[in-house]
Copies of this chain bind each other. A is one copy, B any other.
Amino acid sequence: MSYDTSLIRELKHRAARIRWLSLKTTAEAGSGHPTSCCSCAEILSALFFKVMRYDPKNPGAHSNDRLVMSKGHAAPALYAAWCEAGYLEEKEVFTLRKMGSRIEGHPMPSLPFVDVATGSLGQGLSVGLGISLQQKKVVQNGARTFVLLGDGEMAEGSVWEAFALADNLKTPNLVAIVDVNRLGQSRETMHGHDIRTYARKVEAFGWEAIVVEDGHDIEAVLKGLEQATHVSGKPACVIVKTFKGGGLSQIADKDNWHGKPVMPGQGLEQALADVEKDLMKSPPAPAIARPEDIKGKIVSGPVAAKIDPAPYKKGDKAATRQAVGPALVNLGKADERIWVIDGDTQNSTYAQKFGEAYPERFVECFIAEQNMAGVAAGLASRGLVPFATTFGAFLARAFDQIRMAALSGLKVKFIGTHAGISIGEDGPSQMALEDLASFSTLPNGAVFYPSDAVSAYHCIANLARHEGPGYIRLSRPNSEVLYDADEQFPIGGLKVLKKSDAPALTVISAGVIVHEALKAIKNLPGSEKIQLVDLYSLKPFPTEELSKLVKASNGNVAVFEEHAIEGGIGATVALKLAGDIKSFKHVAVTSVPRSGTPEELLASFGLSADKITETLKTLIR
């Protein structure tokens, strides 16, 4: 296939403009990655001005083809392309990296063409996979998602998790593009310019590999990209050999040009001269292909998270993780934006129930937590409300993706089961002991830690309601249902499970340990002086309510929890109520747990009813 020479001439001009703006804006900012922008100038030119179908006036539209800039450090090239497309004014593009500007150092979703923040490498393909699923199942207009990756990030395993799942799901509307510019940050990448090796890997992972030998030949790049859009039945990956600083005679393919601007007097003049040769005096207005109309149904507005009363009666025995099934099915019935994704633990997390009820909104990500979190971010970025479920311990390895989703302000919801030592015999590798510490740090995040199946059920609905990222910590063992099926569990609330008229001590716990504390207090002489708090909402934190209670008990506090000492319930209580607390007893997991029965493990860390009794005796003497 050959192209109209005027199109090729125009695309050369667009590529030159992308280089010119990338050079100028980073030089003006005094920092940035212009050479990483120049290597992908032809790729972006071909995408924006021939291949992608979108409305340049409405970059966020569901009908548009989406582009994920996985190599986020090339953000200036992305801004330049949107400037050429007519959405951004040049004036704004020149506010790059200035305080308060949307034109940040790495792409942020304050810009409607950025779905998920990038800049931590190796995450974009997972995000793109999530977006492509939303296009396929919700938008249904044949829209595609393009993901531009750098070659350096091809070393990230999360990229291969995404390649594998896209193959498994056969998502033909996902196109990956690898900008193989040979140079990483500190040295040559693992495979340098060996584009065949990249192609071999991608093909082995079930993708169609299309190789472009000269990524600065606009016609070759355009051919490769259009070829990718004609691949059917599987995703396609275009592997493009480029040069870092491509198009700049003095800089292209040279070392030590990563992450630094080309400054006046240090090469900028020559670089601009190199680029300006390709600029047209009077370029045509861009002729951008428009997308098909949306065929599916786009739901918006707050999530309909009103759910039926919990299917449990006071006194029943159930594990908090069991509530995942009915809660998610119930939420899924009320709002079709609820999706569930799993890391091959669905039979332990009870996510399976949702998969049975709504298979078209259930994604099995297999044992690949980073990709699972990235797919969740992609889905959430297009207005869906994904719940990602696995053991709490294994979410630890996805925390970079979770962090980026939170920076993007996305409504991603994480359900972590098998928390703490009470899982027993399987041992520490399966025990989440630091999940509260990490999830508590998420900006605008919510963290729930219910003690029974009823509160778990309602807190999962809280997760859906919360306008931000969230986490719920769930337990493995069965314990007694403490609350009525229709009890309310407001976000940022707490429950006083045992009141006292003249409190001398406030005992605070959550999850399984609440039940041990209840037993401990029952058998305790002097228990009338104790009030027991079930702190199901760790974030938002019920500061005012708990402060009142703690002051009423003269600032005497005891916290019992199956989490590391740092960053859990105790740390949060101490932080939020610093100044109110006069005496503080904290019992938590202080060393590496062993295999044993849940009872033995609780006892070994002073968290069994008997051990809590002993501790409380010393406090209310």
List residues of A whose CB falls within 8 A of some B CB. 29, 31-32, 72, 97-101, 104-106, 108, 117-122, 152-153, 155-161, 164-165, 168, 184-187, 189-190, 197, 200-201, 203-206, 342, 344-348, 352, 364, 366-371, 393-394, 396-401, 403-404, 406-407, 409, 425-430, 433-434, 437-438, 440-444, 539, 557, 564-567, 570-572, 574-575, 578-579, 581-584, 586, 590-592, 594-597, 600-601, 604
In whole angstroms, how far apart are the Cα atoms of A161 and B409 in the complex? 29
> What is the minimal beta-carbon distance from A574 to any residue of chain B, in angstroms?
4
In whole angstroms, how far apart are the Cα atoms of A620 and B208 in the complex? 68
Q: List 5 A-B contacts (CB under 8 A).
A: A99-B604, A108-B428, A156-B367, A407-B429, A581-B581
In whole angstroms, how far apart are the Cα atoms of A397 and B400 in the complex? 5
Closest to A368 in B: B155
Q: Provide the residues of chain B in CB contact with A582, threshold 8 Å.
A: 579
Q: Provide the residues of chain B in CB contact with A566, threshold 8 Å.
A: 437, 440-441, 539, 567, 571-572, 575
User: A366: which of B184, B441, B572 is its contact (CB, 8 Å)?
Assistant: B184
In whole angstroms, how far apart are the Cα atoms of A364 and B594 in the complex? 35
Closest to A201 in B: B204
Q: Provide the residues of chain B in CB contact with A122, threshold 8 Å.
A: 367
Known: A204-B200, A397-B398. Contact between A596 and B99, CB under 8 A?
yes
> What is the minimal beta-carbon distance from A322 to any residue of chain B, in angstroms?
16
In whole angstroms, how far apart are the Cα atoms of A496 and B368 in the complex? 47
Task: Identify the interface centre among A118, A426, A429: most chain B CB within 10 Å of its CB.
Answer: A429
User: A161: which of B157, B344, B434, B437 is its contact (CB, 8 Å)?
Assistant: B157
Q: Provide the residues of chain B in CB contact with A575, threshold 8 Å.
A: 565-566, 570-571, 574-575, 586
Task: Identify the interface centre among A203, A578, A579: most chain B CB within 10 Å of its CB.
Answer: A578
Q: What copy number does this chain have within its complex?
A: 2
User: A186: which of B31, B345, B406, B430 is its contact (CB, 8 Å)?
Assistant: B345
B119 contacts A72, C-beta separation under 8 Å: no
Known: A185-B348, A367-B121. Contact between A97 and B434, CB under 8 A?
no
In whole angstroms, how far apart are the Cα atoms of A370 and B29 in the complex? 33
Task: Identify the interface centre among A117, A160, A206, A584: most chain B CB within 10 Å of its CB.
Answer: A160
User: A106: which of B156, B342, B429, B438 is its contact (CB, 8 Å)?
Assistant: B429
Known: A157-B156, A399-B396. Contact between A409 and B371, CB under 8 A?
no
> What is the minimal beta-carbon distance from A428 to any residue of chain B, in angstroms?
5
> What is the minimal beta-carbon distance from A99 to any residue of chain B, in angstroms?
3
Known: A31-B426, A571-B567. Contact between A157 and B160, CB under 8 A?
yes
> What is the minimal beta-carbon distance from A76 to any residue of chain B, in angstroms?
12
Closest to A198 in B: B204
Q: Provide the residues of chain B in CB contact with A592, threshold 8 Å.
A: 406-407, 409, 443
Q: Provide the residues of chain B in CB contact with A164, threshold 8 Å.
A: 155, 190
In whole angstroms, how far apart are the Cα atoms of A197 and B404 in the complex? 32
Q: Provide the residues of chain B in CB contact with A203, threshold 8 Å.
A: 204
B394 contacts A120, C-beta separation under 8 Å: yes
User: A578: which of B159, B369, B584 is its contact (CB, 8 Å)?
Assistant: B584
Closest to A589 in B: B443
B440 contacts A428, C-beta separation under 8 Å: no
Known: A186-B352, A205-B201. Contact between A100 and B437, CB under 8 A?
no
B595 contacts A104, C-beta separation under 8 Å: yes
> What is the minimal beta-carbon distance from A331 to any residue of chain B, in angstroms?
21
Q: Provide the residues of chain B in CB contact with A399, threshold 8 Å.
A: 396-397, 399, 434, 438
In whole angstroms, how far apart are the Cα atoms of A157 and B205 in the complex? 12
Q: Provide the residues of chain B in CB contact with A443, threshold 8 Å.
A: 564, 590-592
Closest to A118 in B: B429
Q: Provide the residues of chain B in CB contact with A409, threshold 8 Å.
A: 592
User: A190: which of B108, B168, B539 is its contact (CB, 8 Å)?
Assistant: B168
Q: Provide the residues of chain B in CB contact with A366, threshold 8 Å.
A: 152, 155, 184, 189-190
A347 contacts B429, C-beta separation under 8 Å: no
In whole angstroms, how far apart are the Cα atoms of A393 and B401 in the complex? 11
In whole angstroms, how far apart are the Cα atoms of A370 and B345 in the complex? 21
Known: A407-B429, A438-B437. Contact between A595 and B99, CB under 8 A?
yes
Q: Provide the residues of chain B in CB contact with A101, threshold 8 Å.
A: 594-595
Q: Provide the residues of chain B in CB contact with A565, threshold 8 Å.
A: 441, 575
> What is the minimal beta-carbon distance from A36 to any residue of chain B, in angstroms?
13
A595 contacts B427, C-beta separation under 8 Å: no
* 10 more CB-based (< 8 A) A-B contacts, given A99-B600, A121-B367, A186-B344: A99-B601, A122-B367, A152-B366, A156-B368, A157-B371, A441-B567, A566-B572, A575-B586, A579-B581, A579-B582
Q: Provide the residues of chain B in CB contact with A369, threshold 8 Å.
A: 400
Task: Identify the interface centre among A72, A348, A425: most chain B CB within 10 Å of its CB.
Answer: A425
> What is the minimal beta-carbon distance from A174 to any residue of chain B, in angstroms?
17
In whole angstroms, how far apart are the Cα atoms of A122 and B595 in the complex? 21
Q: Provide the residues of chain B in CB contact with A426, threshold 8 Å.
A: 31, 105-106, 119
Closest to A393 in B: B120
In whole angstroms, how far apart are the Cα atoms of A118 and B426 in the complex? 11
> What is the minimal beta-carbon distance from A560 to any residue of chain B, in angstroms?
15
User: A571: which of B190, B200, B574 is its contact (CB, 8 Å)?
Assistant: B574
In whole angstroms, how far apart are the Cα atoms of A185 and B564 in the complex? 28
Q: Provide the residues of chain B in CB contact with A428, threshold 8 Å.
A: 108, 117, 119, 407
Q: Provide the residues of chain B in CB contact with A434, threshold 8 Å.
A: 399, 403, 438, 441-442
In whole angstroms, how far apart are the Cα atoms of A588 and B566 in the complex? 18
A394 contacts B403, C-beta separation under 8 Å: no
A344 contacts B152, C-beta separation under 8 Å: yes
Q: Provide the residues of chain B in CB contact with A186, threshold 8 Å.
A: 342, 344-348, 352
Closest to A429 in B: B119
> What is the minimal beta-carbon distance from A189 to any residue of chain B, in angstroms?
7
Known: A98-B596, A155-B164. Contact between A427 and B104, CB under 8 A?
yes
In whole angstroms, how far apart are the Cα atoms of A185 and B365 in the complex? 13
